[in-house]
Amino acid sequence: MAKKFRSKKAVERTTNGVIYVILVVISVIWLIPFVFLVLQSLRGEPGATTNYFFPKQWTFDNYIRLFKNEGVSSSTGEVVSTGSYNFLNWYGRTLLISVCVTVIQTVIVLVTSYALSRLRFKMRKPLMNLMLILGMFPGFMSMTAMYFLLQLLGLTQNMSIVGLILVYVGSSCMGYYICKGFFDTIPKSLDEAARIDGASRHTVFFKIILPLSKPIIIYTILTAFMAPWGEYMFASLIANGDPSYWNVAVGLRDMIQREQLTAYSDSFQRFCAAAVVVSLPITILFFLLQRYYVEGVTGGSVKG
């Protein structure tokens, strides 16, 4: 008996050992690209690629050039202005869009979720089915029509910030799913008690449900804030090819798409610097609010 017990323990130890090895390997795989990104952003040597991992000269020049809106010419190797390929402009535009989208989308999602979770009206079920079906339509197709619509309203190119905000926010009520799932778990007896005391549904929403919903509100804010940063399709469509109206995703893709593999080009290093500048605040924000994100993801899936 004792022997068997010990062997079981040995088996346990070897499995744990194997698992540790796997986890370490996975962690390395997951981290290497990001380490590489940071290292490349600090690389002093010119050229798009190197055949070594660690830079030989360390420098902050890539960041400085990025913020001074300069770049190394891919043909002559001189530092020249990058003109309308202005990273700070892209960054500012994306940040502005992101903040506006966050505010509007959070309100819309909360309001829709409350209505669908707590209020009972005739069109509730049909409405939910409708949104389910609409969600399956390829978003891009509706975007071309929307492009014509925005063009009509004069909201492309130099008004594209407004246009993009409208586009991103426009159908955000369809993302009510996870938030409604959270509201569903708040006991209905709370509402009923308040209703008996004479509170209107409006009061119930603001005085009872919202104060209890901090996790899901933060989750909604976090996801709403992160989404516009990576949005490529519509941002490129609405800018219609003019770099002054891009967002960071379109701009950054162009930066590594355009880089010509010469010995001078610093496009890739500046891309890495830009990527670090874009990612850092978002990543920090994400890790600070990680708990809420996890709760949202888990809750959403469990509830279905």
Partner 1 sequence: MEKTQKRVVTEIEYLGMSGWEKFCHNFVSFFQKLPAVFLRFFTVTIPALALRFWNAFSGIFKKLWIALKNGDWKTRVSFVIMGFGQLARGQIMRGLFYLVFEILFILFMALFGAGQLALFGGPGYTETTAGGWVVGPDGVEHLVPQAVGDNSLLILLYGILTMFFIIAFAYAWYCNIKAAYSAQEMKEAGQALPTAKDDIHSFADGQYHKTLLAIPLLGLVIFTIFPIIFMVFVAFTNYDMEHMPPAHLFQWNGFTNFQAVFGGSLSGGTQFGAVFGSILLWTVIWAFFATFTNYILGMVVAIMINKKGIKLKKLWRTVLIMTVAVPQFVSLLLMSQMLGDYGIINSLLQKWGIISAPIKFLTDGIGAKVTIIVVNIWIGIPYTMLMVSGILMNIPADLYESARIDGAGAFRQYFKITLPYVLHVTTPYLISNFVGNLNNFGVIYLLTGGGPVMTAVGTGGAGETDLLITWLYKLIMDKKTYGVASVISILMFLITAIISLVTYNRSASVKNEEDFM
CA distance 223 to 176: 12
The two tokens of residue 231 are: 């949005």
DSSP assignment of 111-147 equals HHHHHHHH---TTHHHHHHHHHHHTTS-HHHHHHHHH
Q: Please report how close the Cβ of residue 195 comes to partner 1 at its closest, in angstroms.
A: 9
Rule CB under 8 A: say whether 209 interacts with partner 1.
no
Please tell me the count of residues contacting partner 1 according to CB under 8 A. 99
Which of 59, 279 has the CB closer to partner 1? Answer: 279
Taking Cα atoms as reference points, which of 203, 177, 200 lies closest to residue 117?
177
Q: Please report how close the Cβ of residue 120 comes to partner 1 at its closest, in angstroms.
A: 9
The two tokens of residue 191 are: 């509402």
Residues 111-130 binding partner 1 (CB under 8 A) are 111-112, 114-115, 119, 121, 124, 127
Residues 226-245 binding partner 1 (CB under 8 A) are 226, 229-230, 232-233, 237
Rule CB under 8 A: say whether 25 interacts with partner 1.
no
> Of residues 5, 56, 57, 136, which one binds partner 1 by CB under 8 A?
136
CA distance 302 to 218: 19
The two tokens of residue 38 are: 């940071």
Pairing relationship of beta strands 70-72 and 79-81 according to DSSP bridges: antiparallel
CA angle 267, 272, 277 (to 5 degrees): 120
Q: Please report how close the Cβ of residue 220 comes to partner 1 at its closest, in angstroms.
A: 14
Q: Is the alpha carbon torsion for 61, 63, 69, 73 positive or negative?
A: positive
Rule CB under 8 A: say whether 208 interacts with partner 1.
no
Window contacting partner 1 (CB under 8 A); options: 57-65, 70-78, 85-93, 251-259: 251-259
Q: Please report how close the Cβ of residue 29 comes to partner 1 at its closest, in angstroms.
A: 7
Taking Cα atoms as reference points, which of 58, 34, 65 lies closest to residue 44?
58
Residues 263-282 binding partner 1 (CB under 8 A) are 268, 271-272, 275, 278-279, 282
Rule CB under 8 A: say whether 54 interacts with partner 1.
no
Residues 179-198 binding partner 1 (CB under 8 A) are 184-185, 188
> Of residues 6, 7, 14, 36, which one binds partner 1 by CB under 8 A?
36
Residues 158-177 binding partner 1 (CB under 8 A) are 166-167, 169-174
CB-based contacts of 54, cutoff 8 Å, min separation 6: 39
Which of 12, 60 has the CB closer to partner 1? Answer: 12
Rule CB under 8 A: say whether 15 interacts with partner 1.
yes
> Of residues 89, 142, 244, 262, which one binds partner 1 by CB under 8 A?
142
Q: Please report how close the Cβ of residue 31 comes to partner 1 at its closest, in angstroms.
A: 6
Q: Please report how close the Cβ of residue 166 comes to partner 1 at its closest, in angstroms.
A: 7
Taking Cα atoms as reference points, which of 97, 94, 104 lies closest to residue 173?
104
Rule CB under 8 A: say whether 86 interacts with partner 1.
no
CA distance 198 to 204: 10
CA distance 135 to 176: 12
Rule CB under 8 A: say whether 5 interacts with partner 1.
no
State phi, psi for 71 to the nearest 5 degrees. -155, 165
